[in-house]
């Protein structure tokens, strides 16, 4: 039985890490600085490099990373945000605030502004991935929070895969930042090194590596392929750190979430629960591990009864009000759009269960590796610090 872990927004989450970084640049934050981050590590540092390795959980590093460069430089663990998923967590890295403020609440989001369920990172419709580009809809109408690069007085860079460098999402979250695209691991570190050496000004260099996450989804976080990829990444990071020695750089390495592996038998399908489906007003949103349910008002009692009697072994039922009051999304829920984006109820899946639905003409998607839930493995990420 996997226990429920919530984000520690008080002083132990990635939001607090971003508060520490904001403090270094003289900016205030609603959140305290990260407790395990020694603020004196910023002293005499001209460059801050924040490298986010998508999916690299603290649990994986502890179990599989013994003797590696990354493990040797771990300062401790912190929590992600809720849900611990790329859309919500990367938006926190890019804005410095929790989901309660930025209101990016998962991979699938219902946007009342346009009345449909979307995939927020590709910025398209959930139904057959129909893009919004050219429709007149701007990411700025969905994400209103300013980006870190707009908040601080420093030269900012974003080193990201070429395939997403010019995406609508990155345009919205990386304003004022110089965007550099790469296609190989050598290319990523080449661009970071160039940014570090580009001037004598204070700089914040954000970089994002998505490929550990890709492999962990497809083959499982405990697979040989994921482990081999991690070791290749570790060696390249060590080489990079040596190459920029003496540049007054603090290299901060962390992740947006961790992973758990599951099996096909642990995937619940909505089509097997037609009585539950009758209660829903729109398709599932959020994540397969944290499911947002929008329910017809006159079906609310039927919905609650069904979940409590038929699904209690698989999930914990929470109302939207409970999720906000229990600070799942942060210590503040100041964004008025948050209420529209988390459903009437949330199903927090237990153990390694997932809950999936499908749309007409579209197939179910299954992954061995999953995240977005409230297990320790998904929620805890490492804090790795390297002085260069």
Give the start-to-end residue ranges of the domains of the chain: 14-261+374-387, 264-369
CA dist 150 to 49, 52, 174, 204, 229, Å? 17, 20, 8, 12, 34
Question: Counting runs of H as helices and runs of E as strands, what totals does the chain give?
Answer: 14, 18
Tell me the CATH number of domain 14-261+374-387, given options 3.40.720.10, 3.40.50.10800, 1.20.120.80, 3.40.50.1110.
3.40.720.10
Q: Which residues sit opposite 111 in a β-bridge?
A: 116
pLDDT of amino acid 363 = 87
Rg of the chain over all Cα atoms, to the nearest angstrom:
20
Are 14-261+374-387 and 264-369 in the same CATH fold? no
Distance between CA atoms of residues 278 and 81, nearest Å: 31
Which helix H or strand E contains 162, and what residues bound it?
Answer: none
* Token code pair at residue 388: 């260069």
Q: Which residue matches tokens 């346009």?
A: 114
Q: Alpha-carbon dihedral of residues 155, 248, 86, 78, nearest 10 degrees?
A: -130
For the chain, which ranges sit under pLDDT 50? 1
The count of other CB atoms within 10 Å of the CB of residue 141 is 12
What pLDDT digit, counting tens, does each position of 350-364 carry? 999 999 999 998 888
Q: Please report the pLDDT score of residue 1 as a whole number.
A: 46
**What's the DSSP call for residue 29?**
-
Confidence at residue 2, expressed as pLDDT on a 0 to 100 scale: 52
What is the C-alpha to C-alpha distance for residues 255 and 14, in angstroms, rounded to an integer?
A: 9
Please give the pLDDT value at position 133.
Answer: 77
**Would the pTM count as exceeding 0.85?**
yes
Residue 370 per-residue DSSP state: E
C-alpha distances out from residue 284 to 98, 319, 367, Å: 23, 15, 17
CA-to-CA distance for 205 and 207, rounded, in angstroms?
A: 7
Instruction: Write the pLDDT tens digit of every residue in 230-289.
Output: 999 999 999 999 999 999 999 999 999 999 999 999 999 999 999 999 999 999 999 999
Helix residue ranges per DSSP H, 174-223 = 185-196, 211-219
Q: Which fold has domain 264-369?
A: Gyrase A; domain 2 (3.30.1360)
């Amino acid at each position: 039985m996997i226990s429920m872990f919530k984000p520690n927004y008080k002083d132990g989450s990635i939001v607090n890490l971003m508060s520490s970084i904001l403090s270094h640049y003289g900016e205030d934050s609603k959140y305290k600085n990260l407790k395990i981050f020694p603020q004196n590590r910023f002293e005499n540092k001209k460059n801050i490099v924040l490298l986010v390795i998508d999916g690299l959980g603290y649990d994986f590093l502890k179990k599989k990373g013994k003797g590696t460069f990354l493990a040797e430089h771990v300062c401790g663990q912190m929590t992600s945000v809720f849900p611990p998923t790329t859309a919500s967590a990367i938006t926190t890295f890019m804005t410095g605030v929790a989901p309660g403020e930025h209101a990016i609440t998962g991979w699938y989001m219902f946007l009342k502004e346009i009345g449909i369920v979307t995939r927020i990172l590709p910025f398209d419709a959930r139904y057959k991935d129909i893009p919004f580009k050219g429709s007149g809809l701007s990411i700025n109408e969905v994400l209103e929070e300013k980006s870190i690069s707009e908040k601080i007085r420093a030269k900012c860079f974003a080193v990201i895969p070429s395939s997403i460098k010019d995406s609508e999402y990155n345009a919205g979250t990386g304003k004022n930042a110089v965007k550099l695209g790469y296609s190989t691991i050598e290319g990523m570190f080449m661009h970071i090194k160039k940014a570090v050496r580009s001037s004598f000004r204070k700089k914040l260099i954000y970089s994002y590596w998505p490929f550990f996450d890709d492999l962990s989804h497809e083959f499982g976080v405990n697979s040989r392929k994921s482990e081999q990829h991690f070791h290749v990444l570790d060696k390249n990071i060590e080489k990079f750190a040596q190459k920029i020695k003496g540049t007054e750089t603090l290299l901060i390495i962390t992740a947006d979430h961790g992973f758990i592996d599951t099996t096909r038998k642990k995937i619940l399908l909505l089509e097997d629960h037609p009585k539950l489906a009758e209660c829903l007003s729109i398709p599932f949103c959020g994540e397969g591990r944290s499911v947002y349910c929008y329910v017809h008002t006159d079906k609310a009692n039927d919905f609650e009864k069904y979940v409590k009697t038929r699904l209690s072994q698989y999930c914990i039922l929470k109302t939207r009000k409970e999720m906000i009051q229990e600070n799942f999304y942060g210590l503040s829920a100041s964004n008025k759009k948050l209420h529209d984006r988390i459903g009437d109820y949330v199903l927090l899946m237990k153990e390694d269960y997932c809950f999936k639905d499908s749309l007409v003409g579209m197939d179910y998607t299954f992954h061995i590796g999953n995240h977005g839930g409230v297990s320790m493995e998904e929620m805890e990420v490492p804090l790795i610090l390297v002085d260069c």
